[in-house]
């Protein structure tokens, strides 16, 4: 039995305790069928600190750009701003279930370069946050080829890898795609993962990691230097990350129970996603793509002009106004689409499907009743 030197009360290595990184490496190797080097792994307090390190390493000035999906989880816009770079938006296509258009991506890169900008990285969130889509393998291959050809660092936010609900879809890591294409050494790839998602959702423990492949050793040394400033990630979170990555395997006494619990949690999330999507699509002026994965749906709102005017009057975007009224009327918190970015002139909100399943119908009913009243008021 391996130990963490010093236990949970002492600093670990800045990358995380070796025994924990070994558990993560076994998980990745099992998942992808591709070896994982423990030295490519950095354990972190949740996924966010890793994004900080990488952005800090990538961004030198305003000319350095990161291609970022819109809508996006605002960790990316925040850290790009924080480290002085430029967010280069690429729009996910709502009409095709928030699909990624690689041709449009290529154009983005060319246009940016023509403007004198340097495209340093491409961020892909798969499954999507706030949009819930799962990329097709073809899409992923195009992304990997683009990054390899153009020398762009691929930032793969894969924190929802365990949350895939769509029939016939399964999570495929960018690492395994790169490996199958024979491009593992040609694509600078950083894959982020977290214990805040999946079937466990242990957000408060702040556990996560990132893996760097196709990245120069000297760059990895600099990232280690950055990580070392804060000594180490919290050791309990590291242990929890190791446990989440290395659950009871077939043949172990607790495997059956673990599998059953995990399966039921994910099945329940899938049912809840279907419930909320159906309810939202039944509302006047609301259209909502199915959640293929992650923990969110991101419905589009077509709001009456009077509602938009009322929002303008208080100096707020219309979707903020809608969400605020929903909160006031029902106590339900959803996040305005303007917090994630959206095509101009469209309004959305993000809702999780995390309320207990027993409450899901009543939550949907509250939203339905509110929506009808809201539309009556402003129609």
Site for its own copies (CB under 8 A): which residue of 96, 136, 222, 230? 230
Query: Smaller CB distance to its own copies: residue 59 or 280?
Result: 59
Site for its own copies (CB under 8 A): which residue of 64, 141, 162, 202? 202
Within 64-83, which residues bind its own copies (CB under 8 A)? 75, 78-79, 82
Nearest in space to 88 (alpha carbons), one of 114, 57, 49: 114
- Contacts of 166-169 with CB under 8 Å at 24 or more apart are 166/134, 166/290, 166/292, 166/293, 169/134, 169/292, 169/293
Backbone angles phi, psi at 7, to 5 degrees: 70, -155
Locus of tokens 């023509």: 114
CA angle 43, 47, 51 (to 5 degrees): 100
Query: 376, exposed or middle or buried, with CB in 10 Å at 0-12, 13-18, 19+?
Result: exposed
CA dist., res. 38 & res. 26, Å (int): 9
- Per CB under 8 A, does 233 bind its own copies? yes
Q: Which residues contact 375 (CB under 8 A, 6 or more apart)?
A: 284, 285, 304
CA dist., res. 122 & res. 89, Å (int): 10
Site for its own copies (CB under 8 A): which residue of 231, 267, 309, 372? 231
Query: Smaller CB distance to its own copies: residue 208 or 293?
Result: 208
CA dist., res. 203 & res. 60, Å (int): 31
Q: Are 154 and 121 in contact (CB under 8 A)?
A: yes
Which one of 28-36, 86-94, 160-168, 203-211 is the stretch in contact with its own copies (CB under 8 A)?
A: 203-211
- Please report how many Cα atoms fall inside a 13 Å half-sphere around the Cα of residue 365, on the Cβ side: 5
Site for its own copies (CB under 8 A): which residue of 235, 276, 291, 294? 235
Query: Smaller CB distance to its own copies: residue 7 or 168?
Result: 7
CB of 37 to its own copies, least distance (A): 24
Query: Smaller CB distance to its own copies: residue 13 or 142?
Result: 13
Site for its own copies (CB under 8 A): which residue of 1, 3, 9, 168? 9
- Per CB under 8 A, does 6 bind its own copies? yes
- Per CB under 8 A, does 63 bind its own copies? no
CB of 19 to its own copies, least distance (A): 13
CB of 369 to its own copies, least distance (A): 27
- Per CB under 8 A, does 181 bind its own copies? no
Residues forming contacts to its own copies in the complex (CB under 8 A) are 6-12, 45-46, 48-49, 52, 56, 75, 78-79, 82, 196, 201-206, 226, 229-237
């Amino acid at each position: 039995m391996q130990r963490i030197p010093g236990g949970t009360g002492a600093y670990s290595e800045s990358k995380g305790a070796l025994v924990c990184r070994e558990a993560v490496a076994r998980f990745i190797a099992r998942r992808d069928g591709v070896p994982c080097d423990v030295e490519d792994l950095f354990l972190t307090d949740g996924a966010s600190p890793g994004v900080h390190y990488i952005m800090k390493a990538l961004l030198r000035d305003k000319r350095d750009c990161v291609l970022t999906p819109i809508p996006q989880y605002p960790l990316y816009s925040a850290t790009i701003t924080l480290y002085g770079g430029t967010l280069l938006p690429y729009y996910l296509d709502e009409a095709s279930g928030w699909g990624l258009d690689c041709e449009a991506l290529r154009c983005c890169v060319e246009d940016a370069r023509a403007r004198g900008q340097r495209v340093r990285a491409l961020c892909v969130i798969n499954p999507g946050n706030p949009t819930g889509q799962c990329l097709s393998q073809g899409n992923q291959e195009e992304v990997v080829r683009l990054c390899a050809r153009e020398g762009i660092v691929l930032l793969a936010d894969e924190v929802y890898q365990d949350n895939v609900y769509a029939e016939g879809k399964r999570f495929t890591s960018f690492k395994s795609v790169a490996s199958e294409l024979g491009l593992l050494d040609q694509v600078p790839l950083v894959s982020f993962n977290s214990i805040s998602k999946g079937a466990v959702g242990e957000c408060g423990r702040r556990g996560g990691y990132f893996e760097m492949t196709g990245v120069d050793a000297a760059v990895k040394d600099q990232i280690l230097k950055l990580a070392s400033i804060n000594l180490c990630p919290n050791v309990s979170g590291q242990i929890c990350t190791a446990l989440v990555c290395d659950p009871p395997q077939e043949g172990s006494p607790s495997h059956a129970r673990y599998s059953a619990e995990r399966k039921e949690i994910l099945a329940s999330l899938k049912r809840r996603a279907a419930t909320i999507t159906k309810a939202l699509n039944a509302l006047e002026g609301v259209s909502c793509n199915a959640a293929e994965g992650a923990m969110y749906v991101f419905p589009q709102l077509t709001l009456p002009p009077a509602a938009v005017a009322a929002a303008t009057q208080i100096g707020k975007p219309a979707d903020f106004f809608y969400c605020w009224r929903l909160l006031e009327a029902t106590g339900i918190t959803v996040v305005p689409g303007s917090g994630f970015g959206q095509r101009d002139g469209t309004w959305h909100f993000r809702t999780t499907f995390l309320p207990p399943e027993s409450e899901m119908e009543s939550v949907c009913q509250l939203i339905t009743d509110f929506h009808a009243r809201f539309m009556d008021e402003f129609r």
